[in-house]
Structure 1
């Protein structure tokens, strides 16, 4: 089918890499691998750092002008997609383009990765919250990427239109290292943290990790950090230089080898939606020590492919680390289970199947709603 696509949170061609941009590109790649013709309708970005009626009202006007331009272009070209698909919708990144074009051309409308925070119904983000709700109510199918988001969406999205579409990745590059070629875990354990060094939740995750490692300073481990950003100096100062190797930012094709040569990925995941790094590490056969945040439990099997602790709890995080340090073979067992878990549940093929099901569900629901309006 022909699918028109947009990503109001972060367009696919945005110059700054992030998990959000990667996931958006994976969605398009998965749909194309399933035989669909995906066309980016717009690269308009509705996300803003600051809220307020004035700012969001201006964004809405710009978005509707863009939507009107696209509508004219489609009519001139004779283009009419079978579905309009929006990736990542919430109060800071409402979608006005998808609902407008779906209404103008009577198209099924679907949303992948939607979230809803009721506390934003009032205050600076009330305008964006209301706009996101309008899009959610119009959508013929809505997919959250984890169960925590799905629970918050139930207030506005009927059950027959709501699903959880578990995240996925193109696992091939991460699975190329043969399991038999991996070096078994032995002291000192090789720990790996992968995260950008920017303000907010990423820095808080590094802070929790540093506090956890302080608690097990007497045990044998070495930490490698991959990441860079404006908070680099402050973050690196949190860790003992003698026990830390900083690699900076690495290109994507260098990451598989790094996951594969470490025993554990360690990341507290403060306010993390789900964390692509957890998929990448597990695909590489590397177990995970992480925070039990939002969608992390949906992709890391606690006690099998990793060990999870309450979000922000440095003591509990350290206890999970010590559990593996006391039994290094546990890292190997989790790594083997992780590799199998990703191969069975989170590959590009699995994502393509889930997205294809979502698209067809949106088309069915749209048809049923049309029939209901006629009766």
Structure 2
């Protein structure tokens, strides 16, 4: 089978690393693993971060040009289905539904978000387009149970909804950490939710017991780095900044760490949680929608604040057998549900369904 693939938020070839880019690349790899020939149909980015109607109109015009190009391109005659990754109100799929209709092929989505409240306000046009694209999908594969709630609520008659657990683009688990190194945090340093997670990390470190032996390595970079460094200044002797690291280097850092500490403020789910747990690291996070779909164990709720996360850290650092147990269980969870093979199996079944 041959499918066209498109990611309106961020192409898998985008130069800036992120969870979205990683997930787009992982989906393409899983499709290939399912014996599907994948063609990256377009790299047009349809993102409006700020609710700029003029920008939305300009992107819509670019999308129309792209639709005409794709319908006429020689490769299109071989496409048997179209798969779009991450359709939502800031980056709606303005291309896939039109091309699929013109070619008479099934249209599928992976990770689509319904947001009725955005149908008024600065993103109204894009939100309506995202809703229309979701309505056009024969099948939507969802990552988290939070997304499933609104997808079920607003699904048109006959639409198929399929759970596809978030996954890593690898067939086997990586090297396992002996869990005797530093704590580790991994996150882009930008304003908004990422910076809120870093603030929670700083607040948690501030309430750790004075006699506890701990150190923390932070992987990440971005426009808010100076602010993050300022947050961590009171603990500068115990916190090290490693900057942005490529995936191959990050794998080695996971394998030398003792636990993974990332609160996860408004994370969709967080690929870094899967990467850390694949290496056998227990996780300290907050119990938030999305995060709970990929993180093993019980975690503090946001209203419990830094003290509850500090309590979890103390328990894990003070009890090596507990740390080993939680890490082993997390690693087993990733191995069973969040690697390439089970994802490829789910995608293959969804594509087989649209061919019947």
Q: The TM-score by the shorter chain falls in which range?
A: over 0.9
Distance change (3 Å), C-alpha of 1:142 and 1:331: same
Write out aligned runs for 1:44-193 (5 A). 44-74=44-74, 79-158=77-156, 160-171=159-170, 175-177=173-175, 179=176, 182-183=177-178, 185=180, 190-193=182-185
- d(CA) in 1 for partners of 2:70, 2:61: 14
How many residues matched? 352
Contact 2:219–2:244 at 8 Å: present in 1 too?
Answer: yes
Supply the RMSD in Å over aligned alpha carbons.
1.9
Partner of 1:261: 256
Question: Please, what TM-score do these two structures have when normalized by structure 1?
Answer: 0.89
Q: Distance in 1 between matches of 2:56 and 2:76?
A: 32
Q: CA deviation at 1:172?
A: 5.5
Give the Å deviation of 1:329. Answer: 2.2
Alignment pair present for 1:283 and 2:278: yes
Deviation at 1:78, TM superposition (A): 6.5
- The structure 2 residue matched to 1:340, chosen from 332, 337, 350, is 332
Contact 2:296 2:329 in 1 (8 A): no
Contact 1:144 1:164 in 2 (8 A): yes
Q: Is the 8 A contact 2:198 2:228 kept in 1?
A: yes
- Residue 256 (structure 1) shift: 1.6
How far did 1:117 drift?
2.2
Q: CA deviation at 1:361?
A: 3.0
Q: Deviations over 1:228-260 (max 9, x none)?
A: 112112201212111111111112111122112
3-state DSSP class of the match of 1:238?
helix
Correspondence 1:231 to 2:224: yes
Q: Deviations over 1:183-227 (max 9, x none)?
A: 354xxx721001111111111110011101111141221111111
Which ranges of structure 2 fall in alignment gaps of 5 or more residues? none
Aligned to 1:299: 294
- Does residue 1:242 correspond to 2:234, yes or no? no
Scaled by the length of structure 2, the TM-score of the pair is 0.93
2:195 aligned to which of 203, 206, 210:
203
Cα offset, 1:169, TM superposition: 0.5
1:321 aligns with 2:320: no
Give the SS at the match of 1:263. Answer: strand
